[in-house]
Amino acid sequence: MPREKLFRAVPGIPLDRNAKARIIAYARGYNAKHRRAGQHHGPITRAFFDVLETLLWGFHNSHTGKCFPGYDAIAEKARCCRDTVRRAIRALENADVLTWANRFSKIKLLDRWQVIRTSNAYAFRDPLPCVTVSRSYKTENQPGTLHQDQFRFSESRKIIVLDPTTTLDNALIRLGRAMGALPEAASA
């Protein structure tokens, strides 16, 4: 299957610290499950984990979700060679930890436009089973967290009107007053 090529703004999947920790834990579990005899770690070596952690904690922007460093930058920060980065990304993609797309840009040279490849755009797959899709690059495994674009604290607050004539609502009103969440009833 051909790799997607992006000429436009790269969509990002914001991930919080918990999602990043789930991704690392998933990779460790995948490694343990697929370890063969004679392998010290599994298909994801220690150096490959260094590359994954560098991508997640060093280059991934938690707020915008954008992650598009070059191989040389990843190799420098992970303290490994460029070929290790290439093999790590392939192994992590095979483990369904991440996916990537080619990024291209147009530049004007003299009197004509030329297309150049800039770097890869990486997207991580949150292993939480209730994740939703905002955009998929290559695989059907969807990165992101549940309702990450829709959830706002102010929208999550709803006013519920309790009817003191029903037994359950009356019990909830009394519990709220006992906990100090509701004011005491006005005296008649």
pLDDT at residue 152, as a whole number: 47
Measured between its terminal Cα atoms, the distance across the chain in Å is 76
Domains and CATH numbers, the chain: 5-154 (1.10.10.10)
Distance CA 91, CA 177 (A): 57
Q: Which residues of the chain have pLDDT under 50?
A: 132-137, 147-156, 188
pLDDT at residue 78, as a whole number: 94
pLDDT at residue 137, as a whole number: 46
pLDDT at residue 100, as a whole number: 86
E-strand ranges in the chain read 5-6, 98-109, 112-124
Average pLDDT in the chain = 79
**Model pLDDT for residues 97-116, shown as the tens digit of each residue:** 998 888 877 787 888 887 77
Q: Which residues of 132-144 are buried (b: 16+ CB within 10 A; e: fewer)?
A: eebeebeeebbbb
Q: Is 75 exposed, middle or buried (0-12, 13-18, 19+ CB in 10 A)?
A: buried
* Residue partners of 87: CB distance under 8 A and separation at least 6: 48
pLDDT at residue 129, as a whole number: 58
Distance CA 103, CA 101 (A): 6
pLDDT at residue 133, as a whole number: 45
